């Protein structure tokens, strides 16, 4: 802010940094003569062109950085349903664990997914997961591991 404040008897910029604010539009130093008339218009126009070029360069740099992060995925590797949603399928069960609460034991399985949108592994309840994906379970359910 470069407006004069009566409480501090100067502009906030000047109070903070100890010198008057010199905007990029009129880059004159202290004690330099001020431009008048068409000269100030010409200098201001040159400064605006310079700022535009710098912004354009910065934008092109950002775009080139963003382009480096894009990855092309072959379409034959992507499975989509009739609503054009990505189909996430579990690949395998990595680990088994039992969550112990006060009076319950909840069997959990660590599942590896083929997802590209979220982490490759999640913890799922074994009983619910067994109903949905029985082909991933080769052994029968032990009677003691069912959630109560």
Quick: pLDDT tens for 78-131: 667 788 777 677 778 888 888 898 888 988 988 888 766 666 788 888 888 888
Q: What is the pLDDT of residues 7-54, one digit of tens each?
A: 888 888 888 777 787 765 555 555 555 556 787 788 888 888 988 998
Q: Where are the domains of the chain?
A: 12-68, 79-145
At residue 20, φ and ψ (nearest 5 deg) are -70, 150
**pLDDT value for 31:** 56
- Asked whether 14 and 20 are in contact (CB, 8 A), the reply is yes
**pLDDT value for 10:** 84
C-alpha angle with apex 20: 18 to 22, nearest 5 degrees?
Answer: 130
């Amino acid at each position: 802010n470069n407006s004069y404040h009566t409480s501090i008897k100067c502009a906030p910029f000047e109070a903070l940094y100890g010198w008057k604010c010199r905007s990029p539009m009129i880059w004159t130093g202290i004690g330099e003569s001020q431009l008048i008339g068409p000269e100030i218009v010409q200098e201001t126009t040159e400064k605006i062109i310079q700022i535009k070029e710098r912004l354009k360069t910065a934008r092109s740099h950002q775009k080139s950085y963003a382009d480096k992060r894009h990855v092309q995925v072959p379409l034959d590797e992507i499975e989509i349903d009739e609503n054009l949603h990505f189909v996430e399928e579990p690949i395998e069960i990595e680990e088994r664990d039992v969550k112990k609460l006060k009076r319950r034991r909840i069997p959990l399985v660590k599942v590896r997914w083929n997802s590209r949108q979220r982490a490759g592994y999640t913890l799922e309840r074994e009983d619910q997961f067994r109903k949905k994906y029985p082909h991933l379970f080769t052994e029968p359910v032990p009677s003691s591991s069912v959630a109560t």
